Amino acid sequence: MNSRRSWLIFSIGSFAYLSAILQRTSMGIAGVAATERFGGSAAVLSSLAVVQLIVYAAMQIPVGVLIDRFGPRVLILTGTSLMVLGQLSLAFAPSISVAVIGRILVGAGDAMLFISVIRLISSWFSGRIVPQLSQWMGNIGQLGQVVSAIPLAWILGMWGWTPAFLSAASVAVIALIAVIIVIRDRPAHSEDHPRPATWAAAIAQLRHSFKRPGTQLGFWSHYVTQSSGTVFSLLWGFPFMVYGLGYEPHLAAAMLTILVGAGLIFGPILGLLSARYPLRRSNIVLGIVAAIGTAWAVVLLWPGTPPIGVIALLLVVLGIGGPGSLIGFDFARTFNPQRSLGAANGVVNVGGFTASFVSMYLIGVFLDLQNGWRISAGGRSDLYELGSFRTAFAVQYLVIGVGVVFLLRARRRTRRGMSRDEGIEVAPIWVALSRKWRRHKSN
Ligand SMILES: N[C@@H](Cc1c[nH]cn1)C(=O)NCC(=O)O
């Protein structure tokens, strides 16, 4: 544990995750090239991005169960191989249907990476460093987006579709070789946790994990923090900035990297805070949600077009939501036995992606509805009008608000369990703060 070998495992695991994010986001820069290559409508082409995310989310719980049964190494190897196959299919795809199959393979492979590497970290490290390393891994991985946005986009522009997707696949091949050579499930001589011997036992373990209030707290923490940034970076941020705010496309693409930068800066701080104040992790999550709600309120209520500084601030706050969501996995880790951690992480990871899908879809519906009303009132069609974006983005208050209610319920049940089983009483934050203040004054 915490050995030099553990650090090597951490580095290669993070690189494998970075490669997965590169494969995941590679389609984002290739939309125009895809239109030229395959033709077809925007709806058919957007299915390339959406299908991959649906497969990703649908596979989280099965992948979690598989990690508990077979260990993370097998899953990382399988996932990376599937992504290589997917990107190769895409590189040589003669038609949109082969391209869709390629993206399905990428989504399925990508689904296996993140929670496997999270699982590796908790097998190779112990103590307070675990939440900090999960933060580092998550945030280093997001640099895969920057690799997509800059060098990969450059290769696509210079040499075209096939070389671009072959280059992306070659990064996954390098990750695959490194994983084969370096990654092992746990330190030699450490005890293997009992693995479920049958599928029935694995499913029973998943059910238990799902029922634990701590796992549910993790799910809702992931749900409320991650979605707003994901919705912005994967779908609606770009059209909002280009058509709603009038930015040049290259400026909009550069703005999206603020999300990654903010994660890199704030992730380690959140890791330190969660390790230092484990009983206050839900307060940190709620603080992040309040910041996201406030930043959106400023943008949505700004009279006229919000200045670029305000949009940059929104992106910083949304960027904090990414690492904030990793606190969800820390809840899973501390409220589940190691043997069912894979399943618990799978459950947690569904949270943010569910909220993202729902919000992405509802924002699209609201944009369409407003455009329909505008046209039927005799106006001209303007799907991405700034005013329409304001109303449509506001739907996130509803989606995230539902999550906050369920988070508070899960937290109440978790605290009740801690008081019953371990005698740990967690006072509301304002009570704890006022006690601290009184102690500080009397010293
Ligand atoms: N919220 C992300 C991780 C993250 C870290 N910093 C920014 N984002 C997450 O849960 N990701 C799951 C995945 O598969 O990428």
Task: Please give the pLDDT value at position 234.
Answer: 77
The arithmetic mean of pLDDT across residues 383-411, rounded, is 95
Residue among 220, 285, 325, 327 whose CB has most ligand 1 atoms within 8 A, to mutate: 325
Tell me, yes or no, whether 351 lies in a domain: yes
Whether ipTM exceeds 0.90 = yes
The arithmetic mean of pLDDT across residues 222-228, rounded, is 96
Task: Please give the pLDDT value at position 40.
Answer: 63
Task: Please give the pLDDT value at position 254.
Answer: 86
CA–centroid distance, residue 349 to ligand 1 (Å): 9
CA–centroid distance, residue 77 to ligand 1 (Å): 20
The arithmetic mean of pLDDT across residues 252-271, rounded, is 91
State which of 181-195, 219-233, 357-371 shows the largest mean pLDDT. Answer: 219-233
Task: Please give the pLDDT value at position 269.
Answer: 93
Domain membership of residue 155 as a residue range: 4-182+210-442
Tell me, yes or no, whether 201 lies in a domain: no
- Residue 342 binned pLDDT confidence (cut-offs 50, 70, 90): confident
Reported as a single tens digit per residue, the pLDDT across 163-214 is 999 999 999 999 999 999 999 999 987 776 777 778 888 888 888 888 999 9
Tell me, yes or no, whether 414 lies in a domain: yes
Reported as a single tens digit per residue, the pLDDT across 28-74 is 777 667 777 887 665 666 677 778 878 998 999 999 999 989 999 99
Nearest atom in ligand 1 to the alpha carbon of residue 352 is: 10
Distance between CA atoms of residues 264 and 252, nearest Å: 20
Residues 6+ apart with CB under 8 A from 234: 28, 49, 53, 356, 360
Amino acid letter for position 355:
A
Is the pLDDT score of 402 beyond 60? yes
pLDDT higher at 228 or 207: 228
Look up the pTM and report it.
0.88
Tell me, yes or no, whether 192 lies in a domain: no
CA–centroid distance, residue 253 to ligand 1 (Å): 19
Looking at every residue in the chain, the average pLDDT score rounds to: 90
Counting residues of the chain whose pLDDT is more than 70, the rounded percentage is 97
Distance between CA atoms of residues 220 and 225, nearest Å: 9
Tell me, yes or no, whether 198 lies in a domain: no
Question: Could you tell me the CA-to-CA distances from 214 to 226, 339, 409, 418 in Å, in that order?
Answer: 18, 16, 11, 10
Task: Please give the pLDDT value at position 233.
Answer: 84
- Residue 283 binned pLDDT confidence (cut-offs 50, 70, 90): very high
Reported as a single tens digit per residue, the pLDDT across 309-330 is 999 999 999 999 999 999 999 9
**Cβ pair 88, 169 in contact under 8 A:** yes
Nearest atom in ligand 1 to the alpha carbon of residue 349 is: 10
Query: How many domains, the chain?
Result: 1
Residue among 142, 260, 329 whose CB has most ligand 1 atoms within 8 A, to mutate: 142
Task: Please give the pLDDT value at position 44.
Answer: 64
Q: Which residue has the tokens 């989504």?
A: 107
Give the end-to-end CA distance of the chain in Å, rounded to a whole number.
40
Task: Please give the pLDDT value at position 290.
Answer: 98
CA–centroid distance, residue 163 to ligand 1 (Å): 28
Distance between CA atoms of residues 206 and 387, nearest Å: 45
Is the pLDDT score of 4 beyond 60? yes
Reported as a single tens digit per residue, the pLDDT across 78-107 is 999 999 999 999 999 998 889 989 999 999
Task: Please give the pLDDT value at position 192.
Answer: 67
Tell me, yes or no, whether 202 lies in a domain: no
Is the pLDDT score of 437 beyond 90? no
Distance between CA atoms of residues 54 and 354, nearest Å: 9
- Residue 305 binned pLDDT confidence (cut-offs 50, 70, 90): very high
For CA atoms 13, 19, 20, 21, the dihedral sign is: positive
Least confident of 42-51, 109-118, 184-193, 433-442: 42-51
Residue among 53, 121, 226 whose CB has most ligand 1 atoms within 8 A, to mutate: 226
Q: Three-state DSSP class for 307?
A: coil
Task: Please give the pLDDT value at position 380.
Answer: 86
User: CA 326, 331, 334: angle at the middle one, nearest 5?
Assistant: 125
Residues 6+ apart with CB under 8 A from 178: 12, 15, 16
CATH code, domain carrying 421: 1.20.1250.20
Tell me, yes or no, whether 248 lies in a domain: yes
Tell me, yes or no, whether 203 lies in a domain: no
Residue 94 burial (C-beta neighbours within 10 Å; 0-12, 13-18, 19+): exposed
Is the pLDDT score of 16 beyond 70? yes
**Cβ pair 77, 374 in contact under 8 A:** no
Nearest atom in ligand 1 to the alpha carbon of residue 260 is: 7
- Residue 428 binned pLDDT confidence (cut-offs 50, 70, 90): confident
- Residue 374 binned pLDDT confidence (cut-offs 50, 70, 90): confident
